[in-house]
């Protein structure tokens, strides 16, 4: 078989950011304030610092007002909740993102629950999760939204497809399963207790790996011609960055595949910008499709 088609997340993200930027221009041209994004980083996890710096930069580039709040790892829970309360009340802030994971001692569930769901641009609040599964309009988590965008952009047929998602996290696996289901795929969520994971994966027309285990998925696990989306970003002892899929092997079998880096990663930030623009559009009572043309893509679960 000829090698798989590469799905270029860098290019897709750049195009999406350009759409967001023009939406911001349109919102401002109609007399509204530019979207405001608050990014909260607690502690000094090196990977989180890089992610937050990239989010801050990308948000500035599309014309958002950005506030990045850095707090000490020892910040007490009540202090963090007080900051979130202030951001919830601040009308110039349309999106709030608390970078995860939080340092030990802070209760992630309570922090997410403290966010105003209308500003929760990660789509993690209970209201957004319910909206996602019920087919109502809420804010959809960024990484799964990015995966769907990439699949649709390269024309992968989801309707009727067998989709296997490895990983059941709140941030990726579970919401991605809902999005695939809404597009009429037959969805399996596999995880660490799944028996014969290789055989389950071999059934997949669409295979998504989101577990954080370097090169877990081997070429022999992939159905010839399948679409493979690799959400993993793993740093090896030798410094190399690899995904959850053994890329060189997969390239020989898959129909199309995302590289790591340069696949799903850049899409997460692009979708965060998209969610923040949507939140600002809703606040300004501007019909969201007039600012966010990609919203035509969102089917309801039926």
Please tell me whether residue 279 binds ligand GUN under the rule CB under 6 A: no
Of the candidates 99, 119, 145, 174, the residue annotated as catalytic is 99
Residue 118 makes CB contacts below 8 A (sequence gap 6+) with 139, 279, 282, 283
Please tell me whether residue 99 binds ligand GUN under the rule CB under 6 A: yes
**Cβ atoms within 10 Å of 44's Cβ, excluding its own:** 11
CB of 73 to ligand GUN, least distance (A): 16
Assign 3-class secondary structure to 204-242. CCEEEECCCCCCCECHHHCCCCCEEEECCCEECCCCCEE
Of the candidates 122, 205, 230, 244, the residue annotated as catalytic is 122
DSSP state of 299: P
Are residues 117 and 127 in contact, defined by beta-carbon separation less than 8 angstroms?
Answer: yes
- For residue 36, what are the β-bridge partners? 65
Q: Which two tokens stand for residue 6?
A: 């590469």
Please tell me whether residue 128 binds ligand GUN under the rule CB under 6 A: no
Please tell me whether residue 205 binds ligand GUN under the rule CB under 6 A: no
Please tell me whether residue 122 binds ligand GUN under the rule CB under 6 A: yes
Please tell me whether residue 97 binds ligand GUN under the rule CB under 6 A: yes
Q: Measured between alpha carbons, how far is 191 from 211 in angstroms, rounded to an integer?
A: 8
Nearer to ligand GUN, 98 or 254 (CB): 98
Please tell me whether residue 120 binds ligand GUN under the rule CB under 6 A: no
**Residue 195 annotated as catalytic:** no
Please tell me whether residue 62 binds ligand GUN under the rule CB under 6 A: no
Which whole-number Å values give the CA distances from 97 to 26, 36, 129, in the listed order?
Answer: 24, 11, 16
Q: At what angle do helices 173-182 and 142-153 cross, to 10 degrees?
A: 40
CB of 271 to ligand GUN, least distance (A): 9
**Residue 99 annotated as catalytic:** yes
Q: Which of 128, 145, 268, 275 binds ligand GUN (CB under 6 A)?
A: 268
**Residue 49 annotated as catalytic:** no
Q: Which two tokens stand for residue 160?
A: 């009727």
Q: Which of 4, 62, 140, 142 binds ligand GUN (CB under 6 A)?
A: 142
CB of 58 to ligand GUN, least distance (A): 13
Please tell me whether residue 171 binds ligand GUN under the rule CB under 6 A: yes
Nearer to ligand GUN, 100 or 286 (CB): 100
Q: What is the set of active-site residues?
A: 55, 99, 122
Point out which residues bind ligand GUN (CB under 6 A): 97-100, 122, 142-143, 171, 268
């Amino acid at each position: 078989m000829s090698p798989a088609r590469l799905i270029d997340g860098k290019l897709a993200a750049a195009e999406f950011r350009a759409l967001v930027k023009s939406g911001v221009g349109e919102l401002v041209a109609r007399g509204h304030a530019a979207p405001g994004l608050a990014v909260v980083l607690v502690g000094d996890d090196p990977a989180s610092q890089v992610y937050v710096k990239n989010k801050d930069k990308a948000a500035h580039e599309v014309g958002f007002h950005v506030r990045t709040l850095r707090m000490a790892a020892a910040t007490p829970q009540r202090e963090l909740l007080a900051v979130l309360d202030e951001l919830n009340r601040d009308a110039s802030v349309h999106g709030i993102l608390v970078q995860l994971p939080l340092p030990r001692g802070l209760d992630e569930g309570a922090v997410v629950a403290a966010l105003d769901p209308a500003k929760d641009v990660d789509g993690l609040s209970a209201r957004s999760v319910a909206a996602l599964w019920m087919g109502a309009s809420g804010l959809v988590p960024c990484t799964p939204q990015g995966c769907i965008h990439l699949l649709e952009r390269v024309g992968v047929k989801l309707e009727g497809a067998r989709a296997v998602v490895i990983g059941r996290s709140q941030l990726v696996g579970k919401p991605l399963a809902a999005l695939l289901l809404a597009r009429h795929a037959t969805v399996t969520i596999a995880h660490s207790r799944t028996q014969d994971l290789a055989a389950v994966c071999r059934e997949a027309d669409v295979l998504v790996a989101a577990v954080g285990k370097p090169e877990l998925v081997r070429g022999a696990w992939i159905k010839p011609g399948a679409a493979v989306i690799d959400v993993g970003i793993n740093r090896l002892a030798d410094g190399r960055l690899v995904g959850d899929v053994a890329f060189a092997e997969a390239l020989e079998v898959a129909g199309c595949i995302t590289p790591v880096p340069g696949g799903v990663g850049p899409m997460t930030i692009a979708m965060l910008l998209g969610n923040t623009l949507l939140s600002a559009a809703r606040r300004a009572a501007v019909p969201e499709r007039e600012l966010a043309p990609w919203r035509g893509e969102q089917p309801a679960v039926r």
